């Protein structure tokens, strides 16, 4: 089954008529237990469940309206993109899933994280676009169904439909209708995320390509599903108990194991730069000095820190350029 069939099923009996311009917001998210490996590449269905934290004020605002002609017109952070731009092509391919005959979309999308902040914008971008399309067409879909649609744009986008901690369920169905994101009720106001930028350069290998390559060639991938399931259970227990040391240790280990899979692939892949290794060593040195801080790294060279609010001063001293986010600020 392909994405078009899923869309047809989810939108059966719903409006397909474009309405007035619509806008929506979605937060970026950081995986604590990573999504690494697809069981279905067309539907972005994961091999394992994953757990993320949404990054509060960092995310994407997207506005959708009908374009004056049949072509899509995409602007990113107030700059109009060429239709040949890969980002534009990815959006247009996603929009094709919903496009009434002859309709072009005018999409204005803007990220609140500085470009190159080391936080992926594809998750918040596809989530905000899906929410805006829901209003634009008047689908009136619930978040569960919207998370399925957002996943078709980018897997991790399904988790950006919610604030706070979010679980993306693996699901078992071949059509993926049970592979949805759900919010966890737990709030942890004291938790902070620090963004340490190692380089703003675009990554040489997409997460999509690297994921497929590791699943195919890394011998160690065989052990990953059980490992990820155990990490997820441990993280949920640590969150329930507000056990920061346990929480941080599991998230850090999960990320390092994911990068270990990349090293085990043939040929191997390595996203880290010298600055990445330096940041890892600095985090470990801080910890040896008694500062409660752990790290996680996505498919790129930049490092994200996890720490309680009380460690903020020590973190700023060690990483003067760090950007600190309070993911639960303002959440009830
Ligand atoms: O959704 P994608 O294709 O951008 O993949 C995301 C992969 C990681 O960021 C490394 C892990 C995750 O769970 O977000």
pLDDT in tens, 145-183: 999 999 999 999 999 999 999 999 999 999 999 999 999
SS3 321: coil
- Ligand 1 centroid distance, CA of 19 (Å): 32
- Ligand 1 centroid distance, CA of 155 (Å): 7
CATH code 3.30.70.890 region(s) in the chain: 191-325
| Sheet-wide strand order for 303-308 | 294-296, 303-308, 191-196, 323-325
Of the CATH numbers 3.60.15.10, 3.40.50.300, 3.50.50.60, 3.30.70.890, which one belongs to the domain with range 191-325?
Answer: 3.30.70.890
Q: What is the pTM of this model?
A: 0.96
Ligand 1 atom with the smallest distance to the CA of 299 is 10
Hey, what are 230's tokens? 């155990």
> Per residue in 69-90, pLDDT tens?
889 999 999 999 999 998 899 9
pLDDT of residue 120: 77
Report d(CA 51, CA 68) in Å as an integer.
41
> Per residue in 1-44, pLDDT tens?
899 999 999 999 998 899 999 999 999 999 999 999 999 999 99
pLDDT of residue 117: 66
Ligand 1 atom with the smallest distance to the CA of 29 is 14
Report d(CA 55, CA 52) in Å as an integer.
9
Asked if 153 contacts 137 with a C-beta cutoff of 8 angstroms, the reply is no
Report d(CA 317, CA 206) in Å as an integer.
33
Q: What is the dihedral of CA 60, 311, 50, 162, to 10 degrees?
A: -40
Report d(CA 128, CA 63) in Å as an integer.
9
pLDDT of residue 115: 66
- Ligand 1 centroid distance, CA of 261 (Å): 14
- Rounded to the nearest angstrom, the gap between the alpha carbon of residue 180 and the centroid of all alpha carbons in its chain is 14
User: What is the residue-averaged pLDDT of the chain?
Assistant: 96
CATH code 3.30.230.10 region(s) in the chain: 3-183
Ligand 1 atom with the smallest distance to the CA of 50 is 13
Mean pLDDT, residues 111-118? 76
- Ligand 1 centroid distance, CA of 30 (Å): 9
Instruction: Compute CA distances 197 → 114, 248, 293, whole Å.
Output: 11, 20, 17
Greater confidence (203 vs 88) lies with 88
Could you please state the CATH topology (level 3) that the domain comprising 3-183 is classified under: Ribosomal Protein S5; domain 2 (3.30.230)
Is 207 a pocket residue for ligand 1 (Cβ < 6 Å)? yes
> Per residue in 50-63, pLDDT tens?
999 999 999 999 99
């Amino acid at each position: 089954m392909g994405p078009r069939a899923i869309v047809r099923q989810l939108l059966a009996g719903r409006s397909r008529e474009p309405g007035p311009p619509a806008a929506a917001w979605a937060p970026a998210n950081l995986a604590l237990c990573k999504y690494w490996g697809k069981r279905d590449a067309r539907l972005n269905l994961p091999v394992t469940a994953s757990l993320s934290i949404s990054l509060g004020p960092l995310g994407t605002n997207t506005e959708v309206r009908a374009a004056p002609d049949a072509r899509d017109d995409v602007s990113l952070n107030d700059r109009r993109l060429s239709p040949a731009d890969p980002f534009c092509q990815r959006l247009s391919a996603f929009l094709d899933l919903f496009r009434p005959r002859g309709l072009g979309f005018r999409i204005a999308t803007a990220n609140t994280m500085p470009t190159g902040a080391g936080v992926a914008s594809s998750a918040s971008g596809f989530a905000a676009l899906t929410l805006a399309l829901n209003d634009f067409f008047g689908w009136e879909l619930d978040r569960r169904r919207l998370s399925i649609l957002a996943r078709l744009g980018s897997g991790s986008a399904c988790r950006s439909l919610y604030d706070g901690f979010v679980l993306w369920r693996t699901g078992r169905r071949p059509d993926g209708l049970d592979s949805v994101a759900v919010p966890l009720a737990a709030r942890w106001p004291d938790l902070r995320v620090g963004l340490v930028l190692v380089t703003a350069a675009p990554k040489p290998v997409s997460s999509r390509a690297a994921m497929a390559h590791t699943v195919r060639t890394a011998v160690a991938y065989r052990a990953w599903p059980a490992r990820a399931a155990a990490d997820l259970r441990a993280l949920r227990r640590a969150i329930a108990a507000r056990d920061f040391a346990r929480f941080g240790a599991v998230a850090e280990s999960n990320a390092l194991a994911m990068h270990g899979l990349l090293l085990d692939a043939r040929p191997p892949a390595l996203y880290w730069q010298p600055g990445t290794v330096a940041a890892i060593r600095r985090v470990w040195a801080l910890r040896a000095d008694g500062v409660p801080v752990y790290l996680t790294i996505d498919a790129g060279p930049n490092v994200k820190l996890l720490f309680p609010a009380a460690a903020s001063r020590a973190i700023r001293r060690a990483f003067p350029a760090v950007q600190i986010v309070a993911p639960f600020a303002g959440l009830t």
